[in-house]
């Protein structure tokens, strides 16, 4: 079973560390990231804004800004470390292997070029395609995502928000990649359009069997759409596992806090947010990055970064990075009391 999973991994990230060089020094944006994405799987990546989700995506896509440095680690796509290959191989791997659905479709589409042309351009960067074939492809892609094909000659500003998002999805599908990364794909849209787009995205995923990473701060979205979830905090992965299990029985205090912060419609449970804010990544942090805000924190948490603990579970395998994960069950019962969280900031 384990062997099989290893083989089927489309993307495997190992020991990834990324720094941003700034005038004031280096900011440790990503710290010891390890995970694997398997073929045809839907995985959610959850975390607050600024937790390093975007940096992780940019590193995978190979578009880190100039001040971003991968200090160590590997990003393996089908066993090939993307961080070691030459620029041309790297370029060819983009989009053909891993495509992306960007956060803001409005800014992601070039305003002065036709939508259809921008899609064909992605194809043409990887293989020659004649005009007729290109038009047919765009026609098919637009039908797949549910936009009238004749709109391909329009400019982005002539599209509605939902159509733009669909066009960006069409673009991601253009080369039938093994994996698609969707970065907060629907934050700018209203709930109804959001649901429609996710429904279509799930259908497309089922038909085309690409692996999907859904990056979001919205746990509910992950619960609805993903089989597995990875929780990120201040540049580290703190917990991962089958979505249902993680939500039903979270093992990391941060995940517990995150679940607590979600309001449930029709329930009298009050959402409570975690007091305090993520640590300044410019500072050197030896211990657990969540320690300052964690009610379970003890002296070991402040001094020593917890190792990733792998726990066997019915749905597959779970990972948690916490010294006190065994107290999680007990803590989860107390965690709905806001005072439990408040007491930490006083320490």
Partner 1 sequence: MSSFWLRRLWHSALTLFTMLTLMFFMFRMLPGDPTATVISPALYPKAQEALKIQFGLDKPLWEQYLRYLGNLATLDFGLSFHTGRPVAEEIGGRLLNTILLVFPSMIAAYVLGSFVGAILGWKRGSKTEAILVFVSTALQSAPVFWLSMIAILFFSIKLDLFPVGHIVTPGMFPDEDWRMYFSLDFLHHLALPFLINTIYNFCFPFLLMRSSILATVGEEYIELARMKGLTEKAVLYRHAMRNSLLPIATTLPMTLGWAVAGSVVIETVFSWPGLGLLMVEAVGHSDFPMVQAAFLLIAALTVAGTLMADLLYSILDPRIVNH
Q: Which residues bind partner 1 (CB under 8 A)?
A: 58, 61-63, 91-96, 99-100, 102-104, 107-113, 121-122, 125-126, 155, 157, 171
3-class secondary-structure state, position 135: helix
Residue number with CB closer to partner 1 (155 or 198)? 155
Please, what is the minimum distance in Å from the beta carbon of residue 198 to partner 1? 21
Closer CB to partner 1, residue 113 or residue 269? Answer: 113
**Shortest Å distance, C-beta 90 to partner 1:** 9
Strand partners of residue 233: 236
Cβ-based nearer residue to partner 1, 155 or 279: 155
Q: Which is nearer to partner 1, 153 or 269 (CB)?
A: 153
Closest approach, Cβ 292 to partner 1, in A, equals: 32
The token pair that represents 221 in the structure block: 């979205």
Rounded to 5 degrees, what are φ and ψ at 44? -100, 140
Q: Which is nearer to partner 1, 168 or 256 (CB)?
A: 168
- Give 324's contacts (C-beta < 8 A, 6+ positions apart): 253, 296, 298, 301, 331
Q: How far is the CB of 347 from partner 1 (least distance, A)?
A: 40
Residue from 307, 195, 320, 314 nearest 245 by CA = 314
* Smallest gap from residue 94 Cβ to partner 1 (A): 4
Cβ burial, residue 277 (10 Å; 0-12/13-18/19+): exposed
The token duo for 72 is 């160590």
Smallest separation, CB 155 to partner 1 (Å) = 4
Cα angle for residues 77, 78, 84 (degrees, 5° grid):
50
Q: For the CB of residue 100, give the shortest distance to partner 1 in the complex, in Å.
A: 5
Q: Could you tell me if 291 and 301 are in contact, meaning their C-beta atoms sit under 8 angstroms apart?
A: yes
Q: Which is nearer to partner 1, 99 or 322 (CB)?
A: 99
Residue 90: both structure tokens together = 């790297």
Residue 92 or 302: the one with the smaller Cβ distance to partner 1 is 92
Taking the complex as a whole, the smallest distance from the CB of residue 26 to partner 1 amounts, in Å, to: 19
CB of 31 to partner 1, least distance (A): 24
Asked if 152 and 144 touch (Cβ cutoff 8 Å), the reply is: no
Nearer to partner 1 by Cβ, of 45 and 93: the residue is 93
Residues 246 and 229: beta-carbon distance below 8 Å: yes
DSSP 70-107: EEEEEEEETTEETTTS-HHHHHHHBTTTEEEE-S-HHH
Q: How far is CA 96 from the centre of its chain?
A: 19
Strand partners, 13: 35, 75
Give the number of other Cβ atoms within 10 Å of residue 59's Cβ: 24
Taking the C-alpha atoms of residue 304 and residue 287, their distance in angstroms, rounded to an integer, is 4
User: Among residues 107 and 273, whose Cβ is nearest to partner 1?
Assistant: 107
How many CA atoms lie within 13 Å of 209's alpha carbon, on the beta-carbon side?
A: 3
- Beta carbon of residue 112, minimum distance to partner 1 (angstroms, whole number): 6
Closer to partner 1 at the Cβ: 56 or 296? 56
CA distance 29 to 19: 5
């Amino acid at each position: 079973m384990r062997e099989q999973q290893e083989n089927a991994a489309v993307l495997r990230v190992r020991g990834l560390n990324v720094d941003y060089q700034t005038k004031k020094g280096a900011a440790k944006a990503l710290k010891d990231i390890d995970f694997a994405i398997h073929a045809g799987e839907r995985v959610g990546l959850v975390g607050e804004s600024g937790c390093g989700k975007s940096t992780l995506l940019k590193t995978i896509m190979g578009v880190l800004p100039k001040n971003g440095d991968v200090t160590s680690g590997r990003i393996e796509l089908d066993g090939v470390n993307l961080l070691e290959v030459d620029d041309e191989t790297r370029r060819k791997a983009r989009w053909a292997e891993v495509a992306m659905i960007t956060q803001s479709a409005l800014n992601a589409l070039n305003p002065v070029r036709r939508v259809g042309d921008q899609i064909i351009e992605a194809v043409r960067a990887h293989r020659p395609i004649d005009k007729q074939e290109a038009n047919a492809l765009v026609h098919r892609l637009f039908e797949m995502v549910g936009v009238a094909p004749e709109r391909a000659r329009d400019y982005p500003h002539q599209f509605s928000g939902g159509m733009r998002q669909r066009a960006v999805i069409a673009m991601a599908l253009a080369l039938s990649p093994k994996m698609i990364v969707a970065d907060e794909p629907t934050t700018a849209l209203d709930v109804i359009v959001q649901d429609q787009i996710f429904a279509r995205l799930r259908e497309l995923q089922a038909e085309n069997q690409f692996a999907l990473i859904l990056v979001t701060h919205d746990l509910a979205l992950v619960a609805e759409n993903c089989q597995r979830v990875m929780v990120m905090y201040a540049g580290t992965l703190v917990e991962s596992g089958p979505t249902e299990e993680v939500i039903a029985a979270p093992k990391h205090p941060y995940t517990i806090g995150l679940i607590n912060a979600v309001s449930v419609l029709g329930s009298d449970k009050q959402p409570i947010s975690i007091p305090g804010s993520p640590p300044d990544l410019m500072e050197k942090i030896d211990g657990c990055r969540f320690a300052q805000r964690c009610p379970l924190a003890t002296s070991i948490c402040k001094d020593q970064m917890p190792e990733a603990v792998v726990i066997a579970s019915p749905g597959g395998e779970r990972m948690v990075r916490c010294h006190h994960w065994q107290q999680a069950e007990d803590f989860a019962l107390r965690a709905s009391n806001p005072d439990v969280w408040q007491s930490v900031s006083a320490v």
